[in-house]
Structure 1
Amino acid sequence: MKKRKLEMVLEQVKGFESPDVRREQYATPAVVAAELLYFAYMNGDLQGSVADLGCGTGVLAIGAGLLGTKKIIGIDSDIRALEIAKKNASQLDVDIAWVCCDVRDFCGRFDTVVMNPPFGAQEKGNDRPFLEKALEIGTAIYTIHNAGSADFVRGFIAGRGTITDIVTLKFPIRHTFKFHTKEIAYIDVELYRILSK
């Protein structure tokens, strides 16, 4: 499946019904999800097992399945989001195991971790448990952070992982919460590929 086709299919994935601002529940836009997943696919990182940390309504997990990954687990602490994720996966005929728990409590070992963690806009450091767990359970890690986060990410993973690539992207955020003033805002973000040690 080509990247543009993947993006078009992922547009069908329904987002959060009642997003929680404290959890920074922003749906990963199809264009960003397709970029991350196709990058992982081209690196051969979707051939084995994949974990989607903080999967929300499932766009990254579902996209991995559409690109041929057979063993996929989506992890999120919000049972309502997982219910939507299950429906999304069913509608797109993708087989995914869903786990409802805090990412800190999840155990396992995976070839690849994909994630769009909280950026820490509501509470500084919200992305750290995700990076910590990704380093613990994954070999290749694909993660999205605010632009300008390279020094933080490099320092946080020092001795435990290496950044192999950084790709800059525009992340469109639709008007979701009352404090948003624009219908769509474009945030500069960075997509990281990290190999754990």
Structure 2
Amino acid sequence: MSRKSLEIFLQNIEKISSYKINLEQYPTDSYTASFILWNAYFDGNIAQKNVIDLGTGNGILAMGSVYLGAASVTAVDIDPEAIEIARRNSIENGLNINFKNRDVSDISGEYDTVIMNPPYGSVNRHADLPFIKKAFEIGYYIYSIHNFKSLDFVRKLYEECGEIIRMNEIEIAVPHIYQHHKKDLYHIKSVLIYAKSKKHEKII
């Protein structure tokens, strides 16, 4: 197994055909998804762990988690069309994922690892806030991508809820998916945050 083989696997899954701007839906490209998952895997937070993907979209992070040996994977999205595509992807690849068509605020339970690419808050201010709060409520370790422009706000919130272990500057490749887009491809400066919640001591 290698990160390259993971990326190739993720490249071939079905993408969402029509994105909803009110939900700030953006695809997670296979390169970025493999980077997030590979980091989480080598941190010891994927294999044999209970993983949840908040805002799963087409299921790319959830499917990658199963591929890397997660004990169980739950995938959440408020958009029923996204959930249907993600479910179809999992069936076509023979992967067992528990899908929930719900708002993240309605999710409960306890998970070892939360992985997510939440809304950036460009259309709806602080749209990522419910995702961050829920991640710390239900998870021990969190991996999440955020717009670099909101780093000061996001960092403060993470430090209030737990402890930031690592931050990596990355670029998200976003194709032309909305009418207001002028270019075929955008590279959005972003940050991947790896953090642990205040309750992590319970499992150490």
TM-score with structure 2 length normalisation?
Answer: 0.94
AA paired with 1:14? E
1:6-25 to 2 correspondences below 5 Å: 6-25=6-25
Q: What residue ranges of structure 2 are gaps of 5+ in the alignment?
A: 199-204
Q: Find the aligned partners of 1:106 and 1:125 in 2 and give their Cα distance.
A: 19
Partner of 1:137 in structure 2? 138
Q: Find the aligned partners of 1:85 and 1:162 in 2 and give their Cα distance.
A: 31
Q: What residue ranges of structure 1 are gaps of 5+ in the alignment?
A: none
Question: Runs of 4+ in structure 1 displaced over 3 angstroms?
Answer: none
TM-superposition CA deviations, 1:84-134 (whole Å, max 9, x none): 001111122211000011000110100000000000011111000000000
**RMSD between aligned residues:** 1.0
TM-superposition CA deviations, 1:40-81 (whole Å, max 9, x none): 001000031000001111000000000111200001111111
Identical positions, percent: 37
Greater Cα offset, 154-163 or 69-78:
154-163
Shift of residue 151, structure 1, vs aligned partner: 2.2
Partner of 1:94 in structure 2? 95
Q: Does 1:38 align with 2:43?
A: no
Shift of residue 155, structure 1, vs aligned partner: 1.4
Q: Find the aligned partners of 1:57 and 1:111 in 2 and give their Cα distance.
A: 22
How many residue pairs were aligned? Answer: 197
Shift of residue 150, structure 1, vs aligned partner: 3.3
Q: Does 1:2 align with 2:2?
A: yes
More helix by share: 2
Q: Find the aligned partners of 2:174 and 2:116 in 1 and give their Cα distance.
A: 17
Q: Find the aligned partners of 2:177 and 2:54 in 1 and give their Cα distance.
A: 22
